[in-house]
Amino acid sequence: MYALVDCNNFFVSCERVFRPQLEGKAVVVLSNNDGCVVARSNESKAMGIKMGTPFYQVKDMVKAGRLIACSSNYTLYGDLSSRVMSILADTVPKIEIYSIDEAFLCMDGIPPDRIREICAGLVKRVRKWVGIPVSIGIAPTKTLAKIASHFAKRYPGYKGVCQIDDDEKRLKALSLTPVREVWGIGRRLAVKMEDCGIRTALDYVGRPPEWVKEHFMLHGMKTWMELNGRVSVEEERPEKRKSICTSRSFAEMIADRAELASRVADFAAKCAAKLREEGSAAQQVTVFLYTNRFRNDLPQYFPTVSIRLPVAANSTQEILSSALKGLDLIYRPEYLYKKAGVMVEDLVDADAVQLPIFDYDLGLRHRRDRISEVMDRLNSSGHNVVRLAAQRTGDYTDVVRSGFRSRRYSTSLDDIIEVK
């Protein structure tokens, strides 16, 4: 048995924990740079606001006081997410964190008659301890658990927990689920299925397996089996990432090389710190630039360059100097840039880095590693206290526009709630 725990309207719910006055109000959370809507309260969903709506289209409602907009506050969401996940991990033997607001609980070894009760307890506990409402779907496969969680979320009668534990309930749930809402069926696949006359998940499981295999290959077959109650989606192993990317859109367009270089240096430093955090080293550094693709009146340019490193590295100096080398190769002064990024790729275990036999200054490497270590410790407050001269002064996050960001209530002592 699997249980899928899904936080309801997670970003909005996070904002409400520290601003309970937002309860019952139409609230949206905006993407980086306040670009578009990325989370909606039930009330704003009911007003017809769609996911991805550009902010300017709802600006008037905000001005009129009918809608409350929050800039995204990922520090806050990340902290509350880890609190939720730690409660889940303390309750069941195994969890797989699927995204910032979703986790699969593996219920193997728990007596079947206790699963529902445990899940009901979790709904209450997460709500009370962290303040976040969650919905839980219980079923024999992950794909069905996901469907069950939709029902738990949609119908208050379930009190947050819906279990699909027999065939009657399974077929009923499948008949009520449009095929495009099934986990693992993307938009393109859904269109193809609808062209074949498949509207609901029940229509899909009604097709013979040979037909499914012929039209939708192995991937479609896995989903078909899962919907039939047979586990076919393997465990997602927490593998080391293959690449790490740090990129940002700028609030203003930038043409100046030196200004761009300081941004790229920041992104490179951030990538290097992430590499060290997870004990990896990169063999390749990629730099990319974007002009503003929404400005048809301006010339467009989207260059990318990759630089191989002689030896896999994770020190700020090495990653940063490669990134700046890359920038010099692609920078053209005649364009206005809206976005830049640095990607470190071909990651290997930092402890297993192959060193060349000749011409390698091991002492220099050790000194660089020591400097990086000290930088990490001094920067662990989350602010760039220590940086290389090529980087910008101040927090690089301030390039992001966030006119309505709430405080970092749970992670910064200067931002905690005030109590009268």
Partner 1 sequence: MYNPEDKTDGLLPPMAAEGIHAGFPSPAQDYMNPCIDLNKELVRHPAATFYGRVVGDSMIDAGVEEGDILVIDRSIEASEGDMCVCFVDGEFTLKYISFRDPSPGAGNARKDDGRLWLVPANDSYPVITVTDASSFTVWGVVTYIIKKSYRK
Site residues (vs partner 1, CB under 8 A): 20-21, 83-84, 86-87, 90, 125, 128-131, 367, 370-371, 374, 377, 409-410, 413, 416-420
Asked if 337 and 291 count as a contact pair (C-beta separation under 8 A), the reply is yes
Pairwise CA distance, residues 81 & 87, whole Å: 10
Specify the residue, 141 or 315, whose C-beta has the smaller distance to partner 1: 315
Give the bridge partners for 349, in sequence order: 280
* Closer by beta carbon to partner 1, 46 or else 364: 364
Residue 160 makes CB contacts below 8 A (sequence gap 6+) with 120, 123, 133, 134, 135, 136, 152
Strand residue runs (E) in 278-347: 280-291, 304-313, 337-345
CB of 60 to partner 1, least distance (A): 25
Nearer to partner 1, 24 or 52 (CB): 24
For the chain, report the end-to-end CA distance as a whole number of angstroms. 47
Smallest separation, CB 269 to partner 1 (Å): 17
Q: Least CB distance from residue 417 to partner 1, whole Å?
A: 5
Q: Are strands 94-99 and 2-7 parallel, antiparallel or unpaired?
A: unpaired
CA of 100: how far to CAs of 83, 97, 136, 152, in Å? 11, 8, 15, 19
Q: Which two tokens stand for residue 292?
A: 């503003």
Is 4 exposed, middle or buried, given 0-12, 13-18 or 19+ CB atoms closer than 10 A? buried
Q: What's the Cα-to-Cα distance from 220 to each of 49, 173, 189, rounded to whole Å?
A: 32, 19, 9
Q: Nearer to partner 1 by C-beta: 258 or 413? A: 413
Q: CB-wise, 130 or 244, nearer to partner 1?
A: 130
User: Minimum distance from CB of 323 to partner 1 (Å)?
Assistant: 22
The Cβ of residue 304 has, within 10 Å, a number of other Cβ atoms equal to 13
For residue 77, the minimal CB distance to partner 1 (Å) is 15
Of 329 and 416, which CB lies nearer to partner 1 in the complex structure? 416
Question: Which residue, 288, 222, 262, is CA-closest to 394?
Answer: 262
- DSSP calls for 315-379: -HHHHHHHHHHHHHHH--TTS-EEEEEEEEES-EEGGGPPPPSSS--HHHHHHHHHHHHHHHHHT
At 372, list the tokens. 């990086």
Q: Kindly tell me which of 308 and 370 has the beta carbon lying closer to partner 1.
A: 370
In the complex with partner 1, the residue whose CB is nearer, 51 or 417, is 417
**Taking the complex as a whole, how short is the minimal distance between the CB of residue 264 and partner 1, in angstroms?**
25
> Nearer to partner 1 by C-beta: 362 or 413?
413
Least distance CB 280 / partner 1 (angstroms): 22
Closest CB 408 distance from partner 1, rounded Å? 12
Contact in structure between 339 and 290 (CB atoms under 8 Å): yes
Q: How far apart are CA 342 and CA 261, in angstroms?
A: 11
Distance of closest approach, residue 226 Cβ to partner 1, in angstroms? 31
Of residues 329 and 417, the one with the C-beta less far from partner 1? 417
Distance separating alpha carbons of residues 13 and 19, to the nearest angstrom: 10
Question: Within 92-186, where are the H helices?
Answer: 112-129, 142-154, 167-175
In the complex, minimum distance from the CB of residue 314 to partner 1, in angstroms, rounded to a whole number: 16
